[in-house]
Amino acid sequence: MASALVRTVLLVLFICCTPINVAAHAHHDELSEEDASKPVDAILWIHIFLQAIIWGLLFPVGMVFGLSRSRWHVPLQSTGIALTLGGYFLGHAHKGRAFLAGVHGTMANILLIPILTQLVVGIYLKLHIHERSLRPWAVRLHGLVGKSYPILGWTQMLFGAITFRGYCRGGSLGQCLAHYIMGSGFIAYGTIMAILLLVGEAWVRRSGRSPEWWDSWVIMLWGIVNTFTEHRGSHWSAKDMQHTILGVLWWTGGALGIFLARKNQRTVVPAIIIILTGWAMSEHAQALMISTRVHALFGYTLGLAGVTRIIEICFFVPTFAQSGSSHSVVPDDSSDHTLASPREQFAPTLDNGMREAKEEKTAAAKVFRHLPPYLLVTAGLLFISATDEELDYASLSARTVWSKLEELIPTSSHSISFVLYLLIVFLINLYATSGRNASATSSAFTHERQHRGEYDDAAGGGIELRTPLSAHGHEHGQGAAKWYARVPSRSQAVDGRAAEQQHILGEDEDEE
């Protein structure tokens, strides 16, 4: 078996390292108007849609299956590697329209390194050799490369769009870098926030750091970089000054946020910085009128994300209380997201009115928590689409097809943001309900039913999963998930409370 696997690896390496046929399509340093205006052939369209599906959906799903230790991880990633290698050759074999040499083609060659690394290391791990020496390091390398796939895929798809339209050359490069990097940063910020709010509460508790502590560090470091990179040359333009001042705002506000978030405290400083950034961008005049309007829409969306984040921190988000060391976690009974079980939280009073009010607020929190990350994702997409080249092209197209471009751009951007946020929450839910998390959660359900008579089910769309804690902060049962156990829905929680009350009253009668 080992020899067969080695032969397979050598065959793949040989195929990937073999030079492409000289008849294949090549990128050019210069293009004639005729070559640039040729129609896109079917092979190139297949390449575009195939690679978009592989890197936008197949590989992220495979990565999630790897994190949850699902048996579908290996088949899915193997299929993705085979298809992406095929798509690589299609990208060089198409006819028709020609493109200038650019970063998309260079990145395609660079991507062969993580792809082959993932393949070789994955096969090595299947051999189960060197268990105590090399294998632990191989596991870390395999996980690190796999987690980078969504970032690599997103970057390459942006490069593909740039190459397809011929953007970001000459004097437009700086604006493209600013918009694409910062827009992607807001999307990443919204993605991480969604992970923390939907399934990451237990991790945040164990880390001993509030989410705003991490936010503030990123904001401060990014502000330092922005302060010293936005101005080039000897002449200071209005845009240079505006961007540099924003950099100063970020690192000074980030430093304050770090100080206020020490000892696991919550703070609204990162949200205030987001609001101020949104306001500044909404007032940022551009060369084109449509560009000014899109920047204003981006600023309003970003500011709204900050406002909703403040509301969430002040009224909905748990305090992530800690006791003693950072590894000593106690239930936060005042939190709408408390990890304490219903009996521990409400048994002393048995006040049905208090229980129902608590559940209504928790249900509202589960719905409201999607607003800040979604708005951040939307703001990031709007900022990516706000370069002068893209808006100028859209404006020319609109004059021949649509008459109201102001309505077209926000509608299309929000449509894409819906799809992107759907993918984000789908992957989060998939991780929480697949592989070892699915089996561990099932064991936790059985244990809870036996001890309390409750039938647990996912609340809020099946995303919020937590581990019940005992009065001392320990997990119930040997089968409980390390991070997750389902939160009962409202109707099931009512039945569970009735059973709890009956059980407690029965215990009181026995004691009397």
Structural contact between residues 203 and 483, judged by C-beta atoms closer than 8 angstroms = yes
Left (φ > 0), alpha (ψ -120 to 50) or beta: where does 90 sit?
A: alpha
Q: Cβ of 325: how many Cβ atoms within 10 Å?
A: 8
Q: Taking the model in full, what pTM does it have? A: 0.74
* Sign, Cα dihedral of 85, 86, 89, 90: negative
Supply angle C-alpha 55, 202, 122, rounded to 5.
Answer: 35
* Sign, Cα dihedral of 281, 420, 218, 464: positive
Which amino acid appears at position 282 of this protein?
A: S
Q: List, as one string, the DSSP characters of 2-63.
A: HHHHHHHHHHHHHHHHSPPPTTS---BSS--HHHHTSPBPHHHHHHHHHHHHIIIIIHHHHH
Could you give the CA distance from residue 202 to residue 34 in angstroms, rounded to a whole number? Answer: 59
- What integer pLDDT is reported at residue 225 of this predicted model? 86
Which amino acid appears at position 442 of this protein?
A: S
Which residues are within 8 A (CB) of 424 and not within 5 positions of it... i.e. 6 or more apart? 190, 191, 194, 373, 377
Structural contact between residues 428 and 194, judged by C-beta atoms closer than 8 angstroms = yes
Structural contact between residues 338 and 332, judged by C-beta atoms closer than 8 angstroms = yes
- What tokens were used for 424? 């984000």
Structural contact between residues 251 and 227, judged by C-beta atoms closer than 8 angstroms = yes
- What tokens were used for 460? 């809020």
In angstroms, the first-to-last Cα distance of the chain is 70
Could you give the CA distance from residue 465 to residue 483 in angstroms, rounded to a whole number? Answer: 8
Q: How far is CA 315 from CA 76, 202, 259, in A?
A: 41, 19, 22
Q: Cβ of 108: how many Cβ atoms within 10 Å?
A: 18
- What integer pLDDT is reported at residue 501 of this predicted model? 53
Locate tokens 């926030």: which residue? 193
C-alpha closest to that of 412 among 420, 273, 462: 420
Q: Provide φ and ψ at 252, rounded to 5°.
A: -70, -45
C-alpha closest to that of 293 among 378, 162, 374, 391: 391
Could you give the CA distance from residue 225 to residue 228 in angstroms, rounded to a whole number? Answer: 6
* Sign, Cα dihedral of 491, 494, 500, 505: negative
Per-residue tens of pLDDT for the chain, all 512 residues: 444 444 444 434 433 443 333 334 455 556 555 566 677 788 888 999 999 999 999 999 999 999 999 999 999 999 999 999 888 888 877 777 777 778 898 999 999 999 999 999 999 999 989 989 999 999 999 999 999 999 999 999 999 988 888 888 877 787 888 889 889 999 999 999 999 888 887 788 888 888 899 889 989 998 998 888 776 667 777 777 887 888 899 999 999 999 999 888 889 999 999 999 999 888 876 767 777 888 888 999 999 999 999 998 888 766 554 433 343 333 333 444 433 333 344 444 546 777 777 777 777 777 888 999 999 999 999 999 888 787 777 666 555 544 455 556 667 788 899 999 999 999 999 998 998 888 655 555 555 555 544 444 433 333 444 443 333 333 333 333 443 333 344 444 455 555 545 554 554 455 44
Could you give the CA distance from residue 36 to residue 343 in angstroms, rounded to a whole number? Answer: 69
12, 17, 20, 26: CA torsion to nearest 10: 120
Structural contact between residues 481 and 449, judged by C-beta atoms closer than 8 angstroms = no
- What integer pLDDT is reported at residue 32 of this predicted model? 56
Could you give the CA distance from residue 505 to residue 502 in angstroms, rounded to a whole number? Answer: 5
Length of the chain: 512
Q: Provide φ and ψ at 486, rounded to 5°.
A: -65, 145
67, 71, 76, 77: CA torsion to nearest 10: 50
Structural contact between residues 266 and 255, judged by C-beta atoms closer than 8 angstroms = no
- What tokens were used for 231? 């101005």
Q: Cβ of 344: how many Cβ atoms within 10 Å?
A: 16
Structural contact between residues 444 and 479, judged by C-beta atoms closer than 8 angstroms = yes
Which residues of 308-421 form beta strands (DSSP E)?
A: none
- What tokens were used for 400? 């021949």
- What integer pLDDT is reported at residue 37 of this predicted model? 62
Structural contact between residues 48 and 157, judged by C-beta atoms closer than 8 angstroms = no
Q: Provide φ and ψ at 249, rounded to 5°.
A: -60, -40
Q: Provide φ and ψ at 100, rounded to 5°.
A: -70, 150
| Coil/strand/helix, residue 399 | helix
Q: Provide φ and ψ at 181, rounded to 5°.
A: -70, -50
